[in-house]
């Protein structure tokens, strides 16, 4: 087992962009739309950088699955501080289980101390890839981390639950998914962007990783815009409010 950390990132529509559905309902509009690293994955990368800065890791490998355009987000990861990057190039979006299989193949190649990724992607919100990877790898997992501490061969993860905070301790290597409150990613400066151009970025195919079957088992029938929220109604008193709720069958 090496002292490397593998960080999985995903290219998504930037969180600040208003997402629009195509007129034919076949998907969302991406032409000319700003794309970024999934915010939860960016937090995972920042945590990996901090672990390396504490002397607990030697190398950070940023990996992603997607079309050639994903190189832009991998270059951003390299500019943040990742040592090298790997793109598994595919033309069409893949389901979480296939992504997990591809990540497993990369894990078996690089034998990392830790695999970090965001708890979910903001485009599909599946929240599945990290858990599936841990199951396929047969290694411990800790999800929704809001605090992460490494101690030799173990990791201690604090996560938020409905009743408060929960602390888990897992053996390494392990898969950990990150939540929003874990950290605040660093700002990337121009000199780092220039240096990132010289860092290695390898491109592979699923077949080169031994994953032959990438076919989807589910089919999306249609995309729809959420219904417009109805206007609120102002009432003059608590009695009017109760009467209005009773009329709607809420009370």
**Position 232 in a domain:** no
CA 181-149-186 angle, 5° bins: 45
| 15 vs 18: CA distance, rounded Å | 8
pLDDT tens-place string over residues 165-215: 999 999 999 999 999 999 999 999 989 999 999 999 999 999 999 998 898
**Angle, helices 96-110/129-137, rounded to nearest 10 degrees:** 50
pLDDT for position 1 = 61
Whether the CB-CB separation of 36 and 15 falls below 8 Å is answered with yes
pTM for the full model?
0.87
pLDDT for position 247 = 87
**Residue 137 maps to which CATH number?**
3.40.50.620
**Position 230 in a domain:** no
**Position 89 in a domain:** yes
**Position 251 in a domain:** no
Domain with 201, as residue range(s), is 4-224
**Position 107 in a domain:** yes
**Position 237 in a domain:** no
| 168 vs 190: CA distance, rounded Å | 39
Total domains present in the chain: 1
**Position 207 in a domain:** yes
Residue segments in the chain with a per-residue pLDDT below the cut of 70: 1
**Position 246 in a domain:** no
């Amino acid at each position: 087992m090496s002292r490397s950390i593998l960080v999985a990132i995903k290219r998504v529509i930037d969180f600040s962009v208003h997402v629009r559905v195509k007129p034919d309902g076949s998907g969302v509009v991406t032409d000319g739309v700003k794309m970024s690293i999934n915010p939860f994955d960016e937090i995972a990368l920042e945590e990996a950088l901090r672990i390396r800065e504490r002397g607990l890791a030697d190398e950070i490998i940023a990996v992603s699955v997607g079309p050639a355009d994903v190189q832009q987000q991998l270059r951003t990861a390299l500019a943040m501080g990742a040592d090298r990057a790997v793109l598994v190039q595919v033309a069409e979006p893949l389901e979480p289980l296939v992504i997990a299989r591809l990540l497993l193949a990369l894990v078996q190649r690089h034998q990392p101390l830790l695999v970090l990724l965001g708890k979910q992607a903001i485009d599909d919100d599946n929240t599945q890839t990290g858990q599936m990877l841990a199951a396929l790898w047969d290694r411990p997992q800790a999800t929704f981390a809001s605090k992460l501490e490494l101690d030799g061969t173990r990791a201690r993860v604090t996560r938020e639950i409905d009743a408060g905070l929960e602390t888990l301790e897992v053996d390494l290597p392990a898969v950990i998914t990150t939540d929003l409150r874990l950290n605040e990613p660093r700002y990337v400066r121009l000199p780092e962007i220039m240096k990132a151009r010289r860092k290695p970025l390898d491109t592979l195919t699923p077949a080169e990783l031994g994953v032959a079957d990438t076919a989807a088992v589910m089919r999306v029938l249609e995309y729809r815009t959420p219904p417009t929220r109805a206007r609120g109604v102002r009432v003059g008193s608590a009695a009017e409010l109760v009467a209005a709720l009773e009329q709607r069958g809420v009370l």
